[in-house]
Amino acid sequence: MVSTFGWLDTDSEQRRKMLEVVDLFKEEGTVDELGIGSIRDALADSLFPGTSVLHTRLRYVMFIPWLMQQAAHKPSPAEMSAEFRSLEYRLIGSLMAGGEDVGVIGNRARNNLKRMPSGMYWAALGSWQIRKGDFSAEGYFRRQHDYRQLSTRTLKADDPEARELLPGSGLDPHLPPAPTDLLKVVDFQLTGEEEQYLSDQVAAATQGSMLAWLIRNPPGNAPDFVWEIDNLHKAPEDLRDLADHARRFSIVIHGAALMYNLLLARRRGDDDLAGGYVERLERWEADLLVPSQALEGWSRADWWATIQRKNPRLRQPTMQFVNRWIDLLEAGSSLSESRTAADLISSRERQIKGGRARLANQSALDRWSGESGTGRHSFRWPIARAHLEDLYAARAGS
């Protein structure tokens, strides 16, 4: 039976997460094989709200509302939507003409692009309060059409103050103006005005997050993980604690992913591959788990309280799996030879995948590439780091 995704007409945040799931299945290093995505997302959303694995460059959150404003000059909502799609295609050529290549959404697909930048950044526009309200792009254009009709009638009213009661456009009124050559030659470099606007807007909308703090407090390095930034000791205590929880979880759950792949290699009967995973597990413990002291002094009560504040609907089986895995690590047994560890991983896969579990389904195992889900979790830090670097570069150049 062929697996398919069914799309639901639901809110923008749920749509974003579904798109991210699709993308994650394309990246073998980050697939959520053991069902801990709800924990990963809770940490990522706490640290860097509004970010997404679908993002490339920050200036897209300016491009999209600018194109929406331009498209809104068409007479009907349908024509506005069609114009907006056309403008998004034209933006690709403009960025390429501006010398950009890396980070350009649609740089290869061009007019065959199916997933538009507006869909990828729509949740960010709302999270960062650049978009005022929960509506789709089509909803925005319907609003513009209705606003135009209402404005025309209101101007004819006897009450001179009636116009003040008109609704807003749905976009932040303080949005800087678009460059005149937006659809001819443009690049990803933020202007000084745009940087100041985005820094103020995002920091205010995400107040109390690591993203907001780093906007005002640039680190002196650009490491692979946020807990390795050189100014973390200057951050507020709650942010240091959050980063430390993320660090510990990233290290701890990495071993579970390696164990899962080891079991797959053994079930396939590939001794060389299995031997490689045994070595990787041993290196993980010797080079990462033990030196990092990831288990020492880790308050699980505080850890789970942190996760459940962001995701109060976290499922008990997920918590039980993680707790049992941590118990195994604290017991100090050799994981590669542990029957208990193997049973825990196997039962977890069956719990979340049912009959599609690779450790129980030969057909599913045959489709395994030899490595899946072994990437360290960074909780969207690479995306946030790229956005921050765009802000810092504009700030330095102004």
- Where is the domain boundary, 185, 205, 225? 205
Would you give the distance in Å from CA 284 to the centre of its chain?
Answer: 26
Mean pLDDT of 41-62: 97
Would you give the distance in Å from CA 233 to the centre of its chain?
Answer: 25
Cβ neighbours of 265 (radius 10 Å): 21
Proportion of the chain in helix, strand, coil states, percent, rounded to 5: 65, 0, 35
Vertex 44, ends 27 and 241: CA angle to 5°?
Answer: 135
Domain co-membership, 240 together with 377:
yes
H or E segment and range at residue 248: helix 237-268
* DSSP of 103-124: T-TTTTTGGG--S-HHHHHHHH
C-alpha torsion 326→332→333→335, nearest 10: 50
Q: What is the Cα–Cα distance from 314 to 39, expressed in whole angstroms?
A: 8
Domain co-membership, 39 together with 143:
no
Q: Is residue 225 part of a domain?
A: no
- Where is the domain boundary, 155, 189, 205? 205
Residues across the chain:
398
- Where is the domain boundary, 205, 227, 247? 205
Q: Which of 130, 208, 210 is nearest to 169 (CA)?
A: 130
The residue with tokens 């942190």 is 306
Q: Which of 317, 382, 325 is nearest to 350 (CA)?
A: 317
Q: What is the Cα–Cα distance from 193 to 294, expressed in whole angstroms?
A: 43
Q: What is the Cα–Cα distance from 149 to 276, expressed in whole angstroms?
A: 68
Q: What is the Cα–Cα distance from 2 to 333, expressed in whole angstroms?
A: 40
Looking at the predicted structure, is the pLDDT value of residue 344 above 90? yes
Interval 148-159: pLDDT, tens: 777 666 555 455
Q: Is the alpha carbon torsion for 90, 95, 99, 103 positive or negative?
A: negative
Q: Is residue 114 part of a domain?
A: yes
Domain co-membership, 355 together with 280:
yes
Task: Answer yes or no: are the C-beta atoms of 254 and 284 closer than 8 Å.
Answer: yes
pLDDT of residue 149: 77
Q: Is residue 386 part of a domain?
A: no
Six-digit token string for 57: 């460059």
Q: Is residue 294 part of a domain?
A: yes
Domain co-membership, 115 together with 201:
yes
Six-digit token string for 79: 């024509």
Task: Answer yes or no: are the C-beta atoms of 95 and 185 closer than 8 Å.
Answer: no
**φ, ψ for residue 171, nearest 5 deg:** -115, 155
Mean pLDDT of 339-355: 97
Mean pLDDT of 94-114: 93
Q: What is the Cα–Cα distance from 55 to 37, expressed in whole angstroms?
A: 18
pLDDT of residue 165: 42
Q: Which residues of 286-324 are buried (b: 16+ CB within 10 A; e: fewer)?
A: eebbeeeebeeebeeeebbebbeebbeeeeeebbebbee
Interval 221-246: pLDDT, tens: 999 999 999 999 999 999 999 999 99
Q: Is residue 185 part of a domain?
A: yes
Binned at pLDDT 50, 70 and 90, residue 293 comes out as very high
Domain co-membership, 241 together with 194:
no
Binned at pLDDT 50, 70 and 90, residue 147 comes out as confident
Domain co-membership, 44 together with 170:
no
Domain co-membership, 196 together with 296:
no
Q: Is the alpha carbon torsion for 384, 385, 387, 388 positive or negative?
A: positive
What is the tally of structural domains in the chain? 2
Task: Answer yes or no: are the C-beta atoms of 158 and 35 closer than 8 Å.
Answer: no
Looking at the predicted structure, is the pLDDT value of residue 163 above 50? no
Domain co-membership, 273 together with 183:
no
Interval 3-51: pLDDT, tens: 433 333 334 455 545 444 444 444 445 579 999 999 999 999 999 999 9
Domain co-membership, 87 together with 188:
yes
Q: Is residue 64 part of a domain?
A: yes
pLDDT of residue 3: 40
Interval 69-101: pLDDT, tens: 999 999 999 999 999 999 999 999 999 999 998
The residue with tokens 């807007």 is 201
Q: Is residue 145 part of a domain?
A: yes
Domain co-membership, 265 together with 310:
yes
Q: Which domain holds residue 323?
A: 31-49+235-381
Alpha-carbon Rg for the chain, nearest whole angstrom, is: 24
Cβ neighbours of 386 (radius 10 Å): 17
pLDDT of residue 167: 53
> Cβ neighbours of residue 92 under 8 Å, at least 6 residues apart?
104, 105, 106, 107, 110, 113
Domain co-membership, 154 together with 81:
yes
Q: Give me the chain's average pLDDT, please.
A: 89
Q: Is residue 154 part of a domain?
A: yes
Domain co-membership, 243 together with 377:
yes
Six-digit token string for 290: 């033990």
pLDDT of residue 297: 95
pLDDT of residue 154: 55
